Structure 1
Amino acid sequence: INLTQLGDNHPSIATTYNNIASVYANQGKYDDALSMYNKSLKINLTQLGDNHPSIADTYHNIGRVYDNQGKYDDALSMYNKSLKITQTQLGDNHPSIAVTYNNIASVYYHQGKYDDALSMYNKSLKITQTQLGDNHPSIAITYSNIGHVYSNQSKHKEAISMYKQSLKIQLSVLGRNHPDVAKSYSGLGNVYLAEGKHEEAISMYEQSYNILLSVLGHNHPDVAKSYNNLRNVYQAEGKREEAISTNEKSLKEKQEEQEKQEKQGEKQEEHEKQEEHEEKQEKQGENREQEEKEKQKELEEQEKREKQEKKQEKQEKQEEQGEKRHQEELEEKEKQEKQEKHEKQEEEDELA
C-alpha cells in the first residue's frame, strides 16, 4: 500500500524495510536482514543525507548482523560509521554512544583483542555512569562484560571484583530472582573454578542454577548449561555421588516439572471446555431470547394488523351505511318531488 501511495523512496518505506529486517535478524535469517537494512539505508541516504541519526541507527543494526554472522571486521566498520555520525549529531556523552562502544567492545572480545575490548567497555562505562548514575542495570551489565574479559585474561582478582560490583547493583535493582543475577553468579563460579576453588565455585553455580530454574524452568538451554557447570565441578572434585545426586535431582525435578505442566495443560483444557460449554449455553440462551423476542414481535405485529383490519372494516361499513342512507334520502326526495308534481298537476287539471 505504501509503495503504491507514497512511491519507492519515501522515508516510511525505509522504516518498513528496517522493521522487516529486524524480524529477519531475530529469526536468524541474517542475509535477508542485511538485504532489508540496505534497502532502508539506500532510501534514507537519498532522503535524509549522510549524517542523519536514522543513518547511524541503520549502520548500527547492520553491524549487529555482521557481528552475529562472525564477520567481525565488517561489524567494526559499520559500528564505527554509526559512531562517527552519532558523535557529530548527539555529542560524545549520549547514551547511544555508550551502546555503540559496548558493541564494539563485544566484537573485540570475540576476536580475542581483550585490551581493545577493555578500552571500549571502559569508555561505555564512563558515559553510562555520567548519564544514568552508578546503580543502573546497564552499569551492572558493563561490569559483568569487563569481568568476562578479565576472566579470559586469567586476571582472576580483577574479574571477581567486576562480577561482585555487577552483582551488588543487580541485587539492589533487579532482586535476587533475575537471570542477570544468575549470570553474575555463574561468572564468579567460572573464575573460582579456574582458581581451583571448587567449594566456592559450587556455591556460585548452585545459586545460579536455582535462580534460572525458578525463572526459566527445566527446558531452557541456560538451565541445562548451569546444571552442567555444577555437575562438572562435582566430577572435577571426584564427588561422583554428588554428581549423580545432582543428575538424579535434576531428572526428578524435570519429571515433576513436566507432570506439573501436563496437569496445568489438562486443567487449562478443562477450563477451556468449561468456558466453551458456558459460552455455548449462553449463546443458546441468547438464541432462545432472540426467538422469543421475534415471536413476541410477530404477535404484536399480527395484533396490530388485526386491529387495523377491524378498523378498516368498520370504516368501510360506516361508509357503506352512509352511502345507503344518502341513497335512501335521494330516493325519498325524488319520491316526494314526484308526489308534489303529481299533486300540482291534479290541481291544474281541476282548475282547467
Structure 2
Amino acid sequence: MCDYSKALEFYEKSHQIYEKAVLPTHPDSVACDSNIGAVYNKMGDSSKALKFYENDLEITKNALPSTDLSLTTSYSNIGQVYNNMGDYSKVLELYEKSHEIYEKVIPPTHLDLATSCNNIGGVYNTMGDYPKALEFYQKAHEIKEKTLPPNHPGLAASYNNIGLVYNDMGDYFKALEFYKKSYKILEVALPSNLLHVASSFSNIGSVYYSIGDYSKALEFYEKAHQVKEEAVPPNHFSLAASYSNIGEVYYAMGDYSRALEFYEKSSKIRETSLPPNHPSLAETQLSFAACYERINDYAAALKALQNAFQIQQKAFGEGNRAFGRTYT
C-alpha cells in the first residue's frame, strides 16, 4: 500500500539536508525535487507537483546542455501533470520539446523515440486530431518493427493504439484489422490470463457491437470477462465494466431481462468499489432506466433516472453536458 504522506515526509527531510549541504544544482538535490513532485502528482496535488517539477527543470536547464537527455524526463514529468489537469495543448508543447531532444541525440530506431512518438500520438488522439494521432502512432510502430522481434508485446500495443484511433474515427473495419493483429501477437507472447488479453478481446467486441454484429460482440465480451475472472478478485472494478458491456449487447438484442441481470452485477461491484457520487454509478442507473422503459415499468425507470440525476448533481453540478442523457 502506498503511503504518500509518509513518502513526502522523508523526501522533504532529505530535501532540507541537501539545501544545507550541497549546491541546488547537485544531482541528488535535483532528484529530490523530482521525487517530491512525483509524490504530489500521485496525490493529485497538481499545483505543488508543478512547483517541484518546474524547479527541477529550471535547475537542469541551467546546469546541463540544452540537448541533455535529463531534460526529456523533466519535460515529460511536467507534461504528465498538465495531462492530469486536461491542458492538452500544454502537454503537447512539453512532449514535443522532449521529442526534439530525442531526435537530436539518440539513434532513429531507439525505443525511447518510439515511446515519445506514442506519447504525442496519445495527446493528439485525446484532442480529437485523429490524422496526427495516426501519424505519430505509425511512426512509433515503424521504429518498433525495426527494433523488436515480430511477436513482441510492444508491437501489439502499437497495433492496438492504431486500432483505437480508427475506432474513434468510425472506421470500424480498419479498427478490427488492427485489433486482431494486436491479439494475434498477445496470443503467443503473453499468458492467456493477463488483462492485456482481456482488453484486446474487449476492443474487438466493441467494434462488433458498433457494426451491429451482436453475437460476435457477445462472444468477445464474454471472452474478456472470463480472462478477467481468472486474473482479478471477484469485486474488481474491471469486472463491472465487462458486465456492463455484456448488458449493453443484450439490451441492443432486445433481451432486456438479461440486460438488467448484467447491469445489476455491474452495479453491485461499482457500489462497493467507487465513491457514492462517481459518474459510473450514474451511467449504471441510466442503463437501468432504459431497460425499465423498454419493458414498460415506468415507475422503476423514473426512480433510476432520479438516482442518476442525484449522482450527477453531486459529481458535476448543474449545466454539465453529462445531464443530457438524463434529461432525454
Would you call these one fold, judging by a TM-score over 0.5?
A: yes
Query: Which residue is equivalent to 2:98?
Result: 40
The number of residues matched between the two structures is 255
Normalised by the size of structure 1, how large is the TM-score? 0.69
Query: Which residue is equivalent to 1:123?
Result: 181
Query: Which residue is equivalent to 1:74?
Result: 132
Measure the CA separation in 2 of the matches of 1:115 and 1:246.
Answer: 36
Normalised by the size of structure 2, how large is the TM-score? 0.74
Query: Which residue is equivalent to 1:27?
Result: 85
Are 1:175 and 2:233 counterparts? yes
Match of 1:132 among 163, 180, 190: 190
Measure the CA separation in 1 of the matches of 2:116 and 2:197.
Answer: 25
- 1:318-333 matches, cutoff 5 A: none
The 3-state SS of whatever aligns with 1:9 is: coil
Are 1:209 and 2:282 counterparts? no
Residues 218 and 224, structure 1, Cα contact 8 Å, conserved in 2: no
Are 1:240 and 2:298 counterparts? yes
Residues 114 and 153, structure 1, Cα contact 8 Å, conserved in 2: yes
Q: What are the Cα deviations for residues 72-101 of structure 1, in whole angstroms up to 9, with x where unaligned?
A: 110000000000011111222221111111
Residues 231 and 247, structure 1, Cα contact 8 Å, conserved in 2: yes
Measure the CA separation in 2 of the matches of 1:247 and 1:17.
Answer: 44
Residues 209 and 249, structure 2, Cα contact 8 Å, conserved in 1: yes
The answer to which structure has the higher helix fraction is 1
Residues 140 and 165, structure 1, Cα contact 8 Å, conserved in 2: yes
Are 1:155 and 2:213 counterparts? yes
Measure the CA separation in 1 of the matches of 2:306 and 2:167.
Answer: 37
Match of 2:148 among 83, 87, 90: 90
Residues 111 and 144, structure 2, Cα contact 8 Å, conserved in 1: yes
Are 1:199 and 2:236 counterparts? no
Query: Which residue is equivalent to 1:267?
Result: none
Counterpart of 2:106 in structure 1: which amino acid?
L
Measure the CA separation in 2 of the matches of 1:237 and 1:30.
Answer: 43
Larger Rg: 1
Measure the CA separation in 1 of the matches of 2:249 and 2:307.
Answer: 25
Match of 1:12 among 70, 83, 105: 70
- Cα pair distance change 1:161/1:82, threshold 3 Å: same
Counterpart of 1:55 in structure 2: which amino acid?
L
Residues 286 and 308, structure 2, Cα contact 8 Å, conserved in 1: no
Measure the CA separation in 2 of the matches of 1:26 and 1:104.
Answer: 23
Q: What are the Cα deviations for residues 33-69 of structure 1, in whole angstroms up to 9, with x where unaligned?
A: 1111111111111111322111110000000000001
RMSD over aligned CA atoms reads 2.0
Counterpart of 2:90 in structure 1: which amino acid?
D
- Cα pair distance change 1:20/1:204, threshold 3 Å: same
Q: What are the Cα deviations for residues 212-240 of structure 1, in whole angstroms up to 9, with x where unaligned?
A: 11111321111111111111110121102
Gaps of 5+ in 1: 255-352
Tell which deviates more after alignment, 32-41 or 242-251.
242-251
Are 1:226 and 2:288 counterparts? no
